[in-house]
Structure 1
Amino acid sequence: MDFELDDSLDRVDRDVLWDFLSSQAYWSRWRSRDDLERQLAGAWRVVGAYERPGGRMVGFARAFSDGVASAYLADVFTVPEARGHGVGKALVRTVIDEGPGREFRWMLHTDDAHGLYRGFGFAEADQTYMERRPSGSRAQPTAGGVEG
């Protein structure tokens, strides 16, 4: 599969993004489409992968950051038919290693693709990491389906 990467928010196919995140991604089924639009508007960087020829979006990654030292990688995915062609690896590399975030401390939460992320230097957190999770109606399901 031949593809190109583009960091233009205007080019992101919101229908493909919504379809994947609302039906196939364990980490984001709780979001509304309005939530997704707000996340896109507030993103520090987005990168889409687009099939050549044709321009169909086949992958996506989003990051938010303080713009100085820290960033969070989110919503990385490739559509099923694009898997195994290096799309995910190219997306992660572009977001974290190319451009203004290459010197940032990067974080992410994931229940899958650990090998991919380890290849970019990600490691399990140590005792210095803490997290506060929301309760009630905004509680986000974890990978196993248990709300945290």
Structure 2
Amino acid sequence: MRWTHDEFELDDDPARVDRDAVWQYVSTEAYWARWRTREHVEQQIDNAWRVVGVYHGEETIGFARAMSDGVALAYLADLYVLQRFRGRGLGVALVRAMIEEGPGASFRWMLHTDDAHELYAKFGFDKPDRTYLERPHPSL
């Protein structure tokens, strides 16, 4: 599925994702992913239920991936837009494309983030309710 946003394009074709661009971002700029190896990132993209890229021409300037059971719930991960393209509504467009305009529109969505709470709140993300439990990573 393809969407446009001004001169930008969003696309959920996994073959179109520039893995070098994703690796460059998550290994150097993403506070949440710098511990990963290139092999980890490749495996996460390969095993993703869905990916959505943001493109300016052929350049991958944003990305998100999701894990899901394909029926009822999904987890949003690794969402970013390159710094020089921020402030143009691309983060909103990327979240919308991933969670509201695709096959997971009726799912319960989860994510972890240390920033961008205002962005995710626009889509109904909030603190977990009383039914949600989580086992944190052992090293945290």
Same fold (TM over 0.5): yes
- TM-score range (shorter-chain normalised) is over 0.9
Check if 1:30 corresponds to 2:30.
no
Q: Distance in 1 between matches of 2:134 and 2:28?
A: 26
How far did 1:131 drift? 1.4
Q: Render the CA deviation track for 1:34-77: whole Å, top value 9, x for unaligned.
A: 111111111010000001xx321110010010000000000000
Partner of 2:12: 7
Q: Render the CA deviation track for 1:84-120: whole Å, top value 9, x for unaligned.
A: 0111111100000012100000000001110110000
Q: Distance in 2 between matches of 1:33 and 1:127?
A: 37
Q: Distance in 2 between matches of 1:127 and 1:62?
A: 26
The count of residues paired between Structure 1 and Structure 2 equals 135
Q: Distance in 2 between matches of 1:128 and 1:75?
A: 25
Give the share of equivalent positions with the same residue, in percent.
58
How far did 1:128 drift? 2.4
State the superposition RMSD in angstroms. Answer: 1.1
Structure 1 length-normalised TM: 0.87
Partner of 1:31, secondary structure, is coil
**Unaligned residue ranges in structure 1 (runs of 5+):** 140-147
Q: Distance in 2 between matches of 1:24 and 1:87?
A: 18
How far did 1:125 drift? 1.1
Map 1:7-86; keep pairs closer than 5 Å. Answer: 7-51=12-56, 54-86=57-89
Check if 1:88 corresponds to 2:108.
no
- Could you list the structure 1 runs, at least 4 aligned residues long, displaced by more than 6 angstroms after superposition: none
Partner of 1:39, secondary structure, is helix
Partner of residue 105 from structure 1, selected from 90, 103, 108: 108
